[in-house]
A and B are shown apart, each in its own frame.
Chain A
Amino acid sequence: MNIELSDITRKFSRNVAVDGVTLDAGPGVLGLLGPNGAGKTSLLRMLATILPPSSGQLTLLGRDPRKPADRREIRRRLGYLPQSLGYYPSFTVVEFIEYFALLKEVPPHLVPKAVAAAVEKVDLGPRAKSKLRTLSGGMLRRVGIAQAIVNEPQLALFDEPTAGLDPEQRVAFRALIRDLGQTATVIVSTHLVEDVGAACSEVALMSDGKVVFRGTPQELTARGEAGQGVGDAPLERGYSAILSAARAAS
C-alpha cells in the first residue's frame, strides 16, 4: 500500500477538519468527493506532508513522514497540485516546471527531459517559452499539473485539478491520470462527479471530516438507484443519497 491512514484526525483550534479517517490505497486512481468543508483539502495536505495530523498514524510509500529522512524521500516521489497554486509571473512555463523539478531533487542531468516530457503531456509545447503572466487560467492549471508529474511521482495528489479546464482538456487530463494510475497512487479531490466516473477506479466520499463511503464508481451509482438521491446523473444521485444518509445519521 502506498497510503495507509489509521484514525487520522486534524483539528484547527476547536474545529475538527478531519475526524478519525482510516484509509489505504495502492496504485490506481482514487476520487475524493465531498461538499465544501468536508475535509478533503486538509486530508490532501496531510498526504502532501505539509500538514501534520493532530493524531493518528500516517504511512506514505512505506515511510513515516514524521521522520525528516523519510519525509524527504516521500517528497521526492510526491506530486502535488494545491487547490490554489500561485505562480511566478516572470517565469516561463519551462522555468516554472524546472524550478519544481529541482526542488523535488530530480537529478539535474534528467531535469531537461523530465520537464519536456511533462510539458508535452499537458499539451503546452507551443507555449513552453511563454511567460506565465501571458497564459490563461486553464493553461496555468495545466502548468500546475505538469509540475506535479515532472518527477514521475509514485504518489500524486490533485486538489480540484480540472477547475478552469475546458471539456477537451478535462478529457485529456482524465486520460493522463488513468495512465499515471497504472503505476502510481493518484488521489483526485474534486466536486465534479463526472471526473470521478470517467477516471477513478475507486471513490471515497467525505462528509464532516469523515469518510462515509468507499467503493467503486459503480457502487456509488448503485447507492443512488437504491436510495433517495437527487441529481441529473446516476453518480450524482449516489453522491446525494450517501450524503443525505450520513447527515441523517449524525
Chain B
Amino acid sequence: MILNKVVYGSVTLLDIVIALVVLLIAFLVAKILSLYLRRFLKEKVAKGHLEIIAKVVSYTIIIVAVLAILPTIGIKLSGLLVAGGIAGLAIGFASQSIIGNLISGIFLMIERPIKIGNSVNIEGTGGIVEDIRIISTTIRTFDGLYIRVPNQKVFTASITNFVANVARRFEYVVGIRYSDDADKALETIKNIIEDHPLALKNPAPQVFVDNLGDSSVNIIVRIWAPSTEWFGVKTELLWKIKKAIEKEGIEIPFPQRVLWFANEPKAQEVRTSESHDSGSH
C-alpha cells in the first residue's frame, strides 16, 4: 500500500499524513475555540483581555499539536534538545530580534502597561492601541496613520498611557490686568467649571492667583475630568472661561512694557515753548 511506503528513516507516508491531519485539526480547533471564546466572552470581558485570552488559547493548542506530531514524523524531542543546542545558536543569531520581540510581546501581555483601545504615547508615537500581537504592536495615530511598533521597542520604551487612570487633570494659566478685580475673575471661572458636567466635582477644581507677572496677574486653573473625555473638556472650557471673564469686563492683557526716552523732557520743553510763541502772535 502506498501509505506504508517509507519516506525517510522509519517515517512512512501514513505518518506524514497523520501529522498533517493532526496539525490541520489543531488549527481548526484553535480557530473555532478562539471564535467561540470571542463570542461567548464578548460582553463579559474587556476587549483587550478577550483578544489576549483568545490568542493564548489559540497559540497553546497549536504549540501542543506541533510538539505532539514531532515524534510521529521522526523528530525525537530528546534529540531536539541536543540538536537544539547547535541549531539554537545559529537560529538565535539569525533571529535574535524576532525572539527579542516575541519575549517582549509575552512580557507586555503579562505586565500589561497598555491595553487595546488605550490612548498612548510610545516614545513620541501617539495614538490608539489597535492590537498587541506576539511580535508587534499596532497603533492608529490621532491623525489616522497605521504604525507597527516591534514589541521589543514597546517594552523598552517609556510609555505614557493617557487612560490608565480613570481621571486626569489639566491646567490653564489665565492672565488678567492689574486693574481687574481678581476675586471676581476667580468667582466667574469657578462658576463656569461648576456648570460643566464633565469637570469633576471631586477631586475639586483649583482656581487661585499664582503669581504677579510682568504684564498680568496670573490665575492657575486646575480641573479633573474623566480620562476618556479630558481633551474635549479642556478645549471647551478654555473658550468658555475666556468669554465669561470678558463678559464681566475683565481682560486678558497683551504683554506690555513702558519705555521712557532719555531726551523726552527736553523735547517736551521745546514743544511747550513753541506753543507759547504761536499763542502770543
A associates with B: no
Binding site for B on A (CB under 8 A): none
Binding site for A on B (CB under 8 A): none
